[in-house]
């Protein structure tokens, strides 16, 4: 089954524009046609009302004129007046026939018009209703009386016709107004339907245009958050497909670079750890006087080499951990917190003594469930920072407690506070604060980043907080798993 696909974004926008514009054009044409029909109907109704009103006025005027001619004839007996009477009677009958013809366009018909025509056809010059005669001579008083009687009947018919005309005009105008309202309501319904169709088309084409863009944005986000292993494929206009192809090319290059980086780290860590292990083994043998007793000065030099070897090993392990931790599975076990913390402190005992640092270690919780490896790495990095940044004769505090079903560990130290401009970046990899660090080995700037990664992988947090006694305090929060 063939499905039309736009060749470009421009083509899709143009097609969407004209497709959405089509219902509006139909609505405009339909509105123009409807208003034209309404205008024509109003014009016809107005013309009909004018014609009816004019004919009604002419009939009324002709009846009055006919009555006046009849009275003049009865008074004067002039044959010319009889001819005028007959001519005006014909004019009146013609107007009544026209009015009768207009009844087919009215909402109601009037029987009085036909009756009035019958009376006029039977009216002779004397004012009597005599079939087949135009006029008849006789007693003037009798003729006048019969004329009065005939014209009373005619005037009754005329009054009835006037009332019918007035009611018919009013009904015609009301019906025309009702038709106009109904037509406008129908027009509004049509416009609402077409407006809804326009909105639907706009939403459809907006979705059609935004769909590949959202797909592209989602692929870019996955590229940064979920790794580089998922291929990228964009379906849509040619420009977006080409952009997806370039993004896939970039993903492959990044994937290759990531693999090369991991390979380099594995090799470099192995290459560094091998001589470092020999170096530490040698310094341990010298420190234990296996090769012979050392002088005080020699002992101090061996101790310096030994401590820096330990620090160098920790930096190498951090460098490896920062790339290994995201892929490492969390292993939950029961942890003896006192044993864990005392084991860490024992590793820094020589550094603590050499700098005359006072260490306060206390905790209100003995057991906790978490990943012991990641928790140890996080605490090790925090304690290493505290030892390295604390001044000679300073104070270090390692305190833990349970709060809201989470383990809260504070590692604080005296010394120079972290500048406010660095507080937002100290957890970024390879960022180093301007705060002074003691010791011959410069930090790598990844210890805090590794520590936070270890805690976030367990659903915990690591943040810099304010302490009431010491200027620098890092708070580690680990939920019970």
| Burial (CB count <10 Å: 0-12, 13-18, 19+), residue 220 | middle
**Residue 264: other Cβ atoms inside 10 A:** 10
- H/E run at residue 266: helix 238-287
Does 297 score more than 60 pLDDT?
A: yes
Q: Which of 164-178, 212-226, 278-292, 296-310 has the lowest mean pLDDT?
A: 212-226
Q: Is the full-model pTM beyond 0.85?
A: no
Catalogue the E-assigned strands of 219-376.
333-336, 358-363, 367-370
Q: Which residue has the tokens 């990095």?
A: 381
Task: Please identify, in words, the CATH class of the domain defined by 233-328.
Answer: mainly alpha
Q: What is the DSSP letter of 326?
A: G
Name which residue leads in pLDDT, 349 or 167. Answer: 349
| Six token digits for residue 87 | 């001519």
Most confident region among 146-150, 291-295, 355-359, 440-444 by mean pLDDT: 355-359
Per DSSP bridges, beta strands 333-336 and 472-479 are unpaired
pLDDT band of residue 5 (cuts 50, 70, 90) is low
pLDDT band of residue 358 (cuts 50, 70, 90) is very high
| Burial (CB count <10 Å: 0-12, 13-18, 19+), residue 448 | buried
- Candidates 3.30.565.10, 3.40.50.12780, 3.30.200.20, 3.20.20.60; CATH matching 330-481: 3.30.565.10
DSSP-based three-state secondary structure for 370: strand
Does 473 score more than 90 pLDDT?
A: yes
pLDDT band of residue 10 (cuts 50, 70, 90) is low
Tell whether the torsion through CA atoms of 151, 153, 159 and 165 is positive or negative: negative
Name which residue leads in pLDDT, 378 or 30. Answer: 378
pLDDT band of residue 335 (cuts 50, 70, 90) is very high
- Find, among 74, 83, 88, the residue nearest to 145 by Cα: 74
Name which residue leads in pLDDT, 438 or 294. Answer: 294
Predicted pLDDT at 4: 57
pLDDT band of residue 325 (cuts 50, 70, 90) is low
pLDDT tens for residues 218-252? Answer: 777 777 665 666 777 766 666 677 777 887 788 78
Secondary-structure percent of the chain, ordered helix, strand, coil, rounded to 5: 65, 10, 25
């Amino acid at each position: 089954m063939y499905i039309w696909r736009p060749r470009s974004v421009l083509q899709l926008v143009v097609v969407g524009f004209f497709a959405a514009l089509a219902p509006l054009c139909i609505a405009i044409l339909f509105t123009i046609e409807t208003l034209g029909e309404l205008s024509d109907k109003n014009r016809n109704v107005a013309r009909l009302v004018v014609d009816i009103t004019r004919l009604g006025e002419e009939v009324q005027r002709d009846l009055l004129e006919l009555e006046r001619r009849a009275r003049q004839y009865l008074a004067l007996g002039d044959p010319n007046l009889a001819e005028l009477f007959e001519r005006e009677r014909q004019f009146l009958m013609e107007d009544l026939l026209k009015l009768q013809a207009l009844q087919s366009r009215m909402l109601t018909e009037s029987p009085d018009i036909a009756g009035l025509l019958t009376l006029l056809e039977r009216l002779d010059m004397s004012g009597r209703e005599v079939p087949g005669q135009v006029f008849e001579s006789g007693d003037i008083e009798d003729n006048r009386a019969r004329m009065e009687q005939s014209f009373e009947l005619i005037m009754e018919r005329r009054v009835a016709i006037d009332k019918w005309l007035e009611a018919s005009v009013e009904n015609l105008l009301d019906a025309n107004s009702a038709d106009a309202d109904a037509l406008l309501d129908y027009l509004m319904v049509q416009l609402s339907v077409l407006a809804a169709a326009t909105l639907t088309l706009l939403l459809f084409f907006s979705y059609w245009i935004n769909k590949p863009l959202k797909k592209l944005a989602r692929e870019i986000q996955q590229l940064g958050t979920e790794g580089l292993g998922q291929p990228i494929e964009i379906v849509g206009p040619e420009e977006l497909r080409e952009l997806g192809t370039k993004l896939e090319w970039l993903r492959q290059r990044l994937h290759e670079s990531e693999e090369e980086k991991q390979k380099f780290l594995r090799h470099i860590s192995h290459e560094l750890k091998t001589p470092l292990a020999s170096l530490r083994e040698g310094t341990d043998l010298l420190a234990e006087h296996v090769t012979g007793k050392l002088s005080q000065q020699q002992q101090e030099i061996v101790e310096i080499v030994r401590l820096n070897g330990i620090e160098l090993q920790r930096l190498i392990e951090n460098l490896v951990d920062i790339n290994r931790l995201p892929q490492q599975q969390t292993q939950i076990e029961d942890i003896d917190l006192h044993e864990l913390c005392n084991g860490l402190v024992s590793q820094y005992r020589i550094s603590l003594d050499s700098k005359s640092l006072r260490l306060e270690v206390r905790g209100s919780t003995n057991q906790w469930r978490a990943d012991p490896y990641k928790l140890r790495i996080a605490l090790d990095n925090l304690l290493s920072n505290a030892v390295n940044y604390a001044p000679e004769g300073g104070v270090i505090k390692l305190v833990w407690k349970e709060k809201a079903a989470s383990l809260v560990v504070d590692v604080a130290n005296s010394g120079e506070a972290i500048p406010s401009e660095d507080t937002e970046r100290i957890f970024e990899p390879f960022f180093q604060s301007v705060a002074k660090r003691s010791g011959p080995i410069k930090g790598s700037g990844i210890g805090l980043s590794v520590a936070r990664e270890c805690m976030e992988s367990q659903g915990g947090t690591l943040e810099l907080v304010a302490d009431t006694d010491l200027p620098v305090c890092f708070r580690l929060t680990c939920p019970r798993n």
